[in-house]
Amino acid sequence: MGLRTYIIKRILFSIVLLFFVITLNFIIFMLMPGDPVSMIASQMKLREPEVLEALREAYGLDQPLPIRYLKYVVNMLTFQFGYSYESRKPVINEIGGRLQNTLWLVVPPEIFAVIVGVALGALAANKRGGLIDNASVIASLISHALPVFWIALVLVIIFSYNLNWFPSGHYLPESWRWTPPQTIWEDWGTRLWYLALPWTTLFLLGFGSYLLLTRASTLECVSEDYVLTARAKGLKERTVLFKHTLKNASLPIITEVAIIFGFTLSGAIITEQVFVYPGLGWWIWRSIDKLDYPALQAIFYVIAICVIIANLIADVLYGVIDPRVKYG
């Protein structure tokens, strides 16, 4: 089977998987306890039966289950997510700003964690039993084992309350509501200043898993014949490590990166709560608390799409990076 046929096969499989995700998402929210219409009516202090019935009709909750499912499938495929129970605004409009905030919060530290974790993991495996190996493993185990809220709170206590170097939360100054930044340097500099502690938290949380996985994968390849042959040819140790050993040990690393980046849009729920950061993670938490089912369905659907696409890309990269992988 050629690469083109394999890609077509994987795309078709991903489409089938997408319909399965849509169906499962619909069933889960149909079985969830609580009545969102009653909650909305309670917030609006409405108790009349005819008003409750009008709300159910407005949100399509009065229709038979098969019709609701068909409309749900069409709406998901066309990204018509309906209206939020809480804000009564289109969910697609609610996602926009929060998605941008989440990407700024999660993607840069994740990229840096991958680079640092993979590099240190490869060096630790190459110098196994030495100081770099022991220090890297201990540091990664500690950072990976600590609860994320504890790391965030320690950083806030040290660098915000004690040293007063960085803000303790939020993503923009309150004063910008009345006096917006005058220059682009002030704008970007302030944003990066507010992101310093959340970025550090997510980096410390993530780099350890990449380091340990890279170290374990590299150790399995250091004694292979092609590595010994490369050394026998007199190649530099750096070339042997990164071009031969790490390249052939990268398949599980690609899988890990694909899965992590696939869930990027879910945000960092706990981190966003600690730093009062208005991203998708904070919105998920609030939507759960408010029984905002349309918002939750839209978020979980978008996350599922990202995971499916990330795994598809990872499958294709397997054959590109490692010629031993056959498309069968």
Give 62-127 as a DSSP string: TS-HHHHHHHHHHHHHTT---B-TTT-SBHHHHHHHHHHHHHHHHHHHHHHHHHHHHHHHHHHHHT
Instruction: Assign 161 to helix, strand or coil.
Output: helix
* pLDDT at residue 266, as a whole number: 62
Max avg pLDDT among 44-53, 118-127, 255-264, 316-325 = 118-127
109 and 229, same domain (yes or no): yes
Comparing 279 with 42, the larger pLDDT belongs to 279
Given a cut of 70, whether residue 269 has pLDDT beyond it is yes
19: in domain? yes
> Counting beta carbons within 10 angstroms of the beta carbon of residue 15, is it exposed (0 to 12), middle (13 to 18) or buried (19 or more)?
exposed
Domain co-membership, 157 together with 207: yes
One domain for residues 73 and 107: no
Is residue 328 a part of any domain in this protein?
Answer: no
Number of residues in the chain: 328
Distance of alpha carbon 316 from alpha carbon 14, whole angstroms:
13
> Please, which pLDDT band fits residue 325 given cuts at 50, 70 and 90?
low
pLDDT at 127 over 70: yes
Confidence bin at 267 (pLDDT 50/70/90): low
Measured CA to CA, the distance from residue 196 to residue 109 in angstroms comes to 10
Residue 71 and residue 182 in one domain: no
Max CA distance (Å), the chain = 85
pLDDT in the model for residue 107: 86
Domain final position from 50, 77, 104: 77
User: What tokens were used for 214?
Assistant: 């890279």
| CA dist., res. 106 & res. 267, Å (int) | 7
Same domain, 179 and 260: yes
Give CA torsion, residues 266, 21, 76, 105, to 10 deg: 10
Q: Does 209 fall in a domain?
A: yes
* The predicted structure's pLDDT at residue 14: 86
Q: How many CB atoms lie within 10 A of CB 121?
A: 30
Range of the domain at 130: 96-321
CA 235, CA 256: separation in Å to the nearest integer? 30
Lowest mean pLDDT among 54-63, 70-79, 152-161: 54-63
Pair of tokens at residue 34: 């609580």
Q: Are residues 140 and 185 in the same domain?
A: yes
Q: Nearest CA to 305 among 26, 93, 22, 99?
A: 22
C-alpha dist (Å) from residue 235 to 85, 189, 228, 231, 246: 63, 44, 10, 6, 15
Given pLDDT bands bounded at 50, 70 and 90, which one contains residue 42?
low
Are 92 and 304 in contact by the 8 Å Cβ rule? The answer is no
Q: What is the distance between the alpha carbons of residues 249 and 242, in angstroms, rounded to a whole number?
A: 10
Confirm if 1 and 328 have CB atoms less than 8 A apart.
yes
Which CATH number covers residue 284? 1.10.3720.10
Are the C-beta atoms of residues 275 and 152 closer than 8 Å to each other?
Answer: yes
Q: Mean pLDDT, to the nearest integer, of 185-209?
A: 84
pTM comes to: 0.76
Q: For residue 83, list its beta bridge partners.
A: 90
- How many structural domains does the chain have? 2
Query: CA 26 to CA 58: how far, in whole Å?
Result: 19
pLDDT over 90 percentage in the chain: 0
